[in-house]
Amino acid sequence: MQSKISSFFKPSPATAKIKVASPISAIIFANEAEICEDPEITVTYKRRARNPGSESDADSAGATNRLGEVDMVAKLEVPKSGKVLHKKRKYAQFYLELGQSDFLLHACTICGFKYAKGDEGDEKVHKTFHKNYTHGIQFKGWRNERVIYVPSLDTGRVIIVLSDDPPAQRSKVQDVVKMMEMDLGDGWIFHQHCKVYLFVSSGRVTGCLVAEPIEKAYRIVSSSTGKKSQDQNGKGGRENSVVLQFGEVSFQREIVRKNNSAKGKEMCDSVTGEILCEKEAVPASCGVRAIWVTPSNRRKHIASYLLDAVRGSFCSGRNLNRTDLAFSQPTSAGRALISNYIGGNAFLLYTTW
């Protein structure tokens, strides 16, 4: 091997001399500018001392290289506890322990619940939550229920829950309020002075209304700008066409405006949150703080049944008219519900605290 290596590198006379004291050849080159005298380099290999009585003696004998000069002994460390350290972990465990982002979690498009797909425990929790959100929270009933009579109600029943009711009833209200907060926001729906109306059907709470006593409200101003905008959009729907010339090819551009009169105005109002009301307040006694119905039951007039129950039971001794109910600042969907229920656009609003 030495002759082949020497012929390959073509050593010059200035190359340092090397003394090898081992069966394994070693070549070290040095420059005369850096080394004044010819160095003598000794390369030695020392055998590692064996541990008598250990299991590594048998392994070290088979690990000797082909030249028989060097033993490579691999020392394996085993944990004293005897636990398997290289156990496969689930994605959910990695997410909880390492604090990773939620890119491993799947968000349900209907209920918004985030879970790890393929994990048996997460799949089961999501299935339960999804059914409670879309069909309602399970309800087995109570011994002492305050059932509100609603003449137009054929199936189901309306139950009222007050602040001095037993803990089991208040706990069920808290579960329903948490479900309502998924759609309506956190921290404002319920307080201790509220009266809660639960609509129960087929063993589940499918709707909820939260009402509170108030003293005054403001009547909304019904604006007539909707018709004007419709007329303007109807007349000026299209602008003059413009011709663009590119060499010998001409393109005609035409701008068409969509008629967004009613829906566009409602969405704009719901985004800005501005509602015009009269300056003078009017006396009011019942304020509807929030209404919520499960997604699979929103075409069964459950919200109307709840409003009827409030009108007949909120004030003891008298029934309220539909126009006597005041509402917290509603969304566009809430305005449509209120206008349809009272039969007009001039309803009462109040500010929640």
pLDDT tens track for 301-312: 999 999 999 999
- Whole-angstrom CA distances from 215 to 87, 98, 218, 286, 345 are 65, 53, 11, 8, 22
Q: Is 303 contained in some domain?
A: yes
Is residue 344 located within the same domain as residue 327? yes
Judged by average pLDDT, the poorest of 69-73, 84-88, 176-180 is 69-73
**What SS3 class is residue 327?**
strand
pLDDT band at 27 (very low <50, low <70, confident <90, very high): very low
Q: Is 314 contained in some domain?
A: yes
Structure token pair of residue 319 = 């029934």
Q: Is 311 contained in some domain?
A: yes
Distance, in Å, from the CA atom of 259 to the CA atom of 131, rounded to the nearest integer, reads 39
Q: Is 232 contained in some domain?
A: no
Structure token pair of residue 185 = 């926001």
Query: Which residues span the domain enclosing 127?
Result: 101-135
> 263 or 347: whose pLDDT is higher?
347
Q: Is 293 contained in some domain?
A: yes
Judged by average pLDDT, the poorest of 74-78, 95-99, 202-206, 244-248 is 74-78
User: Of all residues in the chain, what percent carry a pLDDT higher than 90?
Assistant: 36
pTM recorded for the entire structure: 0.59
Query: In the chain, how many domains are there?
Result: 2
Is residue 160 located within the same domain as residue 210? yes
Distance, in Å, from the CA atom of 141 to the CA atom of 145, rounded to the nearest integer, reads 8
Average of per-residue pLDDT values in the chain: 74
Is residue 215 located within the same domain as residue 109? no
Structure token pair of residue 299 = 């075409």
Is residue 156 located within the same domain as residue 207? yes
Specify which residues 271 forms β-bridges with.
none
The listed range with the strongest mean pLDDT (106-115, 117-126, 207-216) is 207-216
b/e map 233-264, b = 16+ CB within 10 Å = eeeeeeeeeeeeeeeeeeeeeeeeeeeebeee
Sign, Cα dihedral of 314, 157, 201, 152: negative
